[in-house]
């Protein structure tokens, strides 16, 4: 579409928001955008409608069809209502649960949604205050709800908010429901949103649900006797201003830990995230205060959760006395290794167990699983796909863990999303287990590499905002498909997996095979002869294209760890340079 045509269409859409059916504050902000000589913000606010991606509805807060506000949230909720009433027409009552995090407007959006559900005759269970995302997933299952939503933008900067929709098993919606809900939302205009439902259909969830959730989390513990023996290990925890402050310290205490050290400045609940630029435990800057506290008290482990407490960050002390942030692959390795090792010790592996990882997550998880007679499933990025496997195999096989590289792990299936509450408690137990064996967590990770092979992972993303950015990201993907590299760091390209066509091409022998996935996705992967894996995917929730790198090296002794890690880093840097990053 030509720029002038786009701008005219955007202006037409924006002028509709000047109708008196929109509130005065909204109309005032739209007028400002229309009067601004630079149309960039106006275009970005109205050029498209927010849609469900891998993480649901997410965007910058503000007026417009491409922004998070009561009208876009209201349209999503009304569309979800319509879809629920079609799907569950045979039930005497449809029930939903609603949660929200610390973000600005999260409570407003949650309460507005509750009134819309009620106006559509749907019973609502609304949390009385902010709560972790995994508790919302648990509550849906516990209450027998058909759906649920949580208002959160996860680890995104403070300008963002989001809306994640869940199905009756407590997982985020997957196909065909996600696409069908999008179709229903597309039919909604703001006049058809029923904003004012009766209060008698809205029930409040509080401490009773918290207590049920915490009781269930205690069942995740595998070695309570080890925790009792080392209950005074020094655990630093920070919620980074988010919902984890509500339940993660309580979960650690339920496990039996008695020495939980907080970061008072970051216990302050705030959607402005006053001590960080981005509340993302993947980023060192977000962890600075907790790491400083760790040096002060000589902590055994540092933990953090993102604002809605689905992601977990873990910091360990290395052999030089420096605290370092583990990447999400390393954290997932610790979980999987611990769970499988304890199962082996208890002679509990029966041959029907399985783990799940995403396609961009380290292949070492599959290596550990396969060598221990445990099946490993590969799914697309997004925990809803992990939960989908759990749903399909329920009652047939035993789920023992699932994770993804972006700091998410689900240690039990009573939650059907990544769960930092249970994961923080379990990483505390793994720390105690390592100490009981005379090791640190860092040494335990090295032992995993010595036993199963060494890999180094890194993620690089390129941000391209707005409509021009989306077009550029698409061109990058098209070029990689039409002009794949022949070699990477001197190693011949052996395999290309294109999840848009669901075809895997062996470049050395010319063989094509079907990829075993039910739906397509805009992801491409390159595998070289020396074990290097590169995955490229546009983000489903952010204006980014992400490059995931994994390289393999041979580690034969702990003494060579630094040398091998440096070699791997140099190799990744060389590959990034070849790709122009």
Q: Which of 138-142, 146-150, 185-189 has the lowest mean pLDDT?
A: 185-189
Q: With contact defined as beta carbons under 8 Å apart, do 94 and 122 qualify?
A: yes
Angle, helices 420-436 vs 244-255, to 10°: value is 40
Q: What is the pLDDT of residue 56?
A: 67
**Beta partners for residue 160, in sequence order:** 60
What does the buried/exposed string (b/e) look like for 429-457 if buried means 16 or more CB atoms within 10 Å of the residue's CB? bbbbbbbeeeebbbbbbbebbeebbbbbb
Model confidence over 63-76: pLDDT tens digits?
A: 999 999 999 999 99
When comparing pLDDT for 219 and 5, which is higher? Answer: 219
Which residues are known catalytic residues?
A: 154
Residue 80 inside a domain? The answer is yes
Shared domain check, 461 and 442: no
Q: With contact defined as beta carbons under 8 Å apart, do 63 and 29 qualify?
A: yes
Q: With contact defined as beta carbons under 8 Å apart, do 352 and 373 qualify?
A: no
Separation in Å, CA 353 to CA 399, 451, 454: 6, 21, 25
Supply φ then ψ for residue 270, to 5 degrees: -160, 130
User: Where a domain ends, among 452, 479, 500?
Assistant: 452
Q: With contact defined as beta carbons under 8 Å apart, do 268 and 113 qualify?
A: no
User: Where a domain ends, among 420, 452, 484?
Assistant: 452
Shared domain check, 538 and 405: no
Model confidence over 346-383: pLDDT tens digits?
A: 999 999 999 999 999 999 999 999 999 999 999 998 89
Shared domain check, 507 and 544: yes
Measure CA of the first residue to CA of the last residue in the chain; give whole Å: 29
Residue 209 has pLDDT above 50, yes or no: yes
Model confidence over 521-576: pLDDT tens digits?
A: 999 999 999 999 999 999 866 688 999 999 999 999 999 999 999 999 999 999 99
Supply φ then ψ for residue 501, to 5 degrees: -105, -10
Q: What is the pLDDT of residue 465?
A: 81
Q: With contact defined as beta carbons under 8 Å apart, do 451 and 440 qualify?
A: no
Shared domain check, 493 and 510: yes
Q: What is the pLDDT of residue 547?
A: 96
Angle, helices 70-87 vs 177-186, to 10°: value is 120
Residue 90 inside a domain? The answer is yes
The token pair at 303 is 């933990």
Q: For the chain, what percent of residues have pLDDT higher than 70? A: 98
The token pair at 575 is 């590959």
C-alpha 381: how far from chain center: 9
Which pLDDT band holds residue 186 (cuts at 50, 70, 90)?
Answer: confident
What span, in angstroms and rounded, lies between the C-alpha atoms of 126 and 96? 9
Shared domain check, 187 and 266: no
User: Residue 153 belongs to a domain with what CATH number?
Assistant: 3.40.120.10
What span, in angstroms and rounded, lies between the C-alpha atoms of 139 and 205? 9
Listed residue (71, 61, 73) closest to 19, CA to CA: 71
Shared domain check, 446 and 472: no
What span, in angstroms and rounded, lies between the C-alpha atoms of 311 and 313? 7
The token pair at 347 is 């002679």
Shared domain check, 95 and 66: yes
Separation in Å, CA 191 to CA 62, 100, 120, 194, 389: 19, 25, 14, 8, 39
Model confidence over 98-108: pLDDT tens digits?
A: 999 999 999 99
What span, in angstroms and rounded, lies between the C-alpha atoms of 384 and 484? 30
Instruction: Quickly count: other Cβ atoms within 10 Å of residue 71's Cβ.
Output: 23
Listed residue (303, 329, 306) closest to 316, CA to CA: 303
Residue 283 inside a domain? The answer is yes
User: Where a domain ends, among 398, 421, 452?
Assistant: 452
Shared domain check, 244 and 148: no
Residue 41 has pLDDT above 80, yes or no: yes
Tell me what the mean pLDDT of segment 3-22 comes to.
Answer: 90
Shared domain check, 505 and 380: no
3-state DSSP assignment of residue 581: coil
Tell me what the mean pLDDT of segment 252-278 comes to.
Answer: 97
Residue 23 inside a domain? The answer is yes
- Number of structural domains the chain divides into: 4
What span, in angstroms and rounded, lies between the C-alpha atoms of 320 and 442? 11
Q: With contact defined as beta carbons under 8 Å apart, do 291 and 302 qualify?
A: yes
Shared domain check, 311 and 242: yes
Residues with Cβ within 8 Å of 255's Cβ and at least 6 positions away in sequence, in order, are: 217, 218, 221, 224, 227, 425, 428, 429
Shared domain check, 54 and 180: yes
Tell me what the mean pLDDT of segment 222-250 comes to.
Answer: 98
Model confidence over 324-335: pLDDT tens digits?
A: 999 999 999 999
Q: What is the pLDDT of residue 72?
A: 93
Reported as half-sphere exposure (CB side, CA atoms, 13 A), residue 570 has a value of: 7
What span, in angstroms and rounded, lies between the C-alpha atoms of 76 and 72? 6
Residue 204 inside a domain? The answer is yes
Listed residue (235, 222, 239, 462) closest to 342, CA to CA: 222
pTM of the model: 0.94
When comparing pLDDT for 155 and 207, which is higher? Answer: 207
What span, in angstroms and rounded, lies between the C-alpha atoms of 43 and 63? 12
Shared domain check, 445 and 485: no
402 φ/ψ sector (left φ>0, alpha ψ -120 to 50, else beta) = beta
Listed residue (453, 434, 358, 450) closest to 402, CA to CA: 358
What span, in angstroms and rounded, lies between the C-alpha atoms of 481 and 428? 44
Q: What is the pLDDT of residue 488?
A: 95
3-state DSSP assignment of residue 85: helix
Residue 216 inside a domain? The answer is no
What span, in angstroms and rounded, lies between the C-alpha atoms of 282 and 14? 37
Model confidence over 403-452: pLDDT tens digits?
A: 999 999 999 999 999 999 999 999 999 999 999 999 999 999 999 999 99
Residue 503 inside a domain? The answer is yes
Which pLDDT band holds residue 49 (cuts at 50, 70, 90)?
Answer: confident
Q: What is the pLDDT of residue 1?
A: 45
Residue 55 has pLDDT above 60, yes or no: no
Residue 222 inside a domain? The answer is no
Q: What is the mean pLDDT of the chain?
A: 95
Residue 42 has pLDDT above 80, yes or no: yes
Q: What is the 3-state secondary structure (H, E, C) of 206-229?
A: CHHHHHHHHHHHHCCCCCHHHHHH
- Range of 37's domain? 1-47
């Amino acid at each position: 579409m030509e720029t002038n045509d786009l701008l005219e269409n955007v202006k037409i859409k924006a002028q509709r928001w000047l109708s008196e059916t929109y509130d005065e504050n909204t109309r005032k902000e739209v007028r400002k955008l229309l009067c601004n000589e630079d149309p960039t913000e106006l275009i970005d606010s109205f050029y498209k409608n927010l849609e469900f991606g891998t993480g649901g509805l997410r965007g910058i807060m503000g007026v417009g069809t491409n922004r998070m506000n009561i009208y876009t949230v209201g349209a999503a909720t009304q569309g979800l209502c319509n879809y629920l009433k079609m799907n569950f027409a045979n039930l005497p009552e449809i029930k939903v649960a609603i949660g929200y995090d610390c973000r600005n407007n999260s409570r407003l959006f949650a309460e507005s949604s509750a009134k819309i559900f009620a106006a559509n005759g749907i019973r609502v269970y609304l949390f009385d205050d902010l709560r972790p995302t995994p508790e919302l997933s648990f509550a849906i299952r516990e209450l027998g709800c058909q759906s649920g939503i949580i208002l959160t933008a996860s680890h995104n900067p403070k300008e963002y908010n989001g809306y994640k929709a869940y199905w009756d098993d407590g997982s985020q919606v997957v196909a065909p429901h996600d696409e069908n809900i999008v179709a229903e939302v597309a039919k909604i205009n703001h006049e058809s949103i029923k904003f004012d439902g009766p209060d008698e259909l809205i029930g409040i969830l509080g401490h009773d649900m918290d207590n049920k959730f915490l009781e269930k989390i205690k069942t995740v513990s595998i070695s309570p006797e080890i925790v009792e023996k080392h209950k005074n290990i020094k655990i630093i925890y920070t919620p980074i201003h988010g919902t984890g402050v509500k339940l993660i310290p309580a979960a650690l205490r339920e496990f039996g830990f008695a020495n939980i050290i907080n970061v008072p400045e970051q216990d302050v609940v705030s959607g402005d995230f006053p001590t960080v630029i981005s509340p993302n435990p993947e980023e060192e800057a977000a962890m600075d205060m907790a790491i400083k506290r760790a040096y002060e008290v000589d902590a055994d482990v540092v933990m953090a959760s993102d604002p809605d407490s689905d992601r977990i960050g873990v910091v360990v002390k290395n052999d030089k006395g420096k605290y370092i942030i583990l990447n999400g692959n390393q954290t997932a390795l610790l979980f999987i290794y611990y769970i499988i090792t304890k199962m082996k010790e208890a002679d509990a592996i029966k041959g029907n167990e399985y783990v799940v990882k995403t396609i961009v997550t380290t292949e070492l998880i599959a290596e550990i699983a396969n060598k221990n007679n445990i099946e490993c499933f590969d799914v697309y990025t997004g925990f809803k796909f992990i939960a989908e496997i759990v749903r399909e195999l329920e009652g047939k096989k035993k789920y023992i863990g699932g994770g993804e590289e972006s700091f998410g792990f689900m240690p039990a299936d009573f939650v059907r999303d990544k769960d930092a509450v249970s994961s923080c408690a379990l990483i505390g137990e793994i720390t105690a287990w390592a100490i009981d064996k005379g090791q640190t967590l860092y040494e335990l990770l090295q032992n995993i590499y010595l036993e199963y092979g060494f890999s180094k992972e890194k993620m690089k993303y390129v941000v391209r905002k707005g409509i021009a950015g989306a077009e550029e990201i698409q061109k990058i993907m098209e070029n990689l498909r039409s002009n794949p590299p022949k070699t990477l760091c001197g190693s011949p390209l052996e395999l290309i997996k294109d999840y848009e066509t669901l075809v895997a091409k062996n470049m050395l022998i010319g063989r094509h095979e079907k990829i075993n996935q039910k739906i397509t996705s805009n992801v491409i992967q390159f595998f070289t002869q020396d074990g290097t894996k590169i995955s490229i995917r546009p983000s489903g929730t952010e204006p980014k294209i992400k490059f995931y790198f994994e390289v393999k090296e041979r580690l034969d002794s702990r003494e060579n760890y630094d040398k091998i890690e440096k070699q791997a880093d140099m190799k990744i840097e060389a590959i990034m340079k070849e790709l122009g990053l």
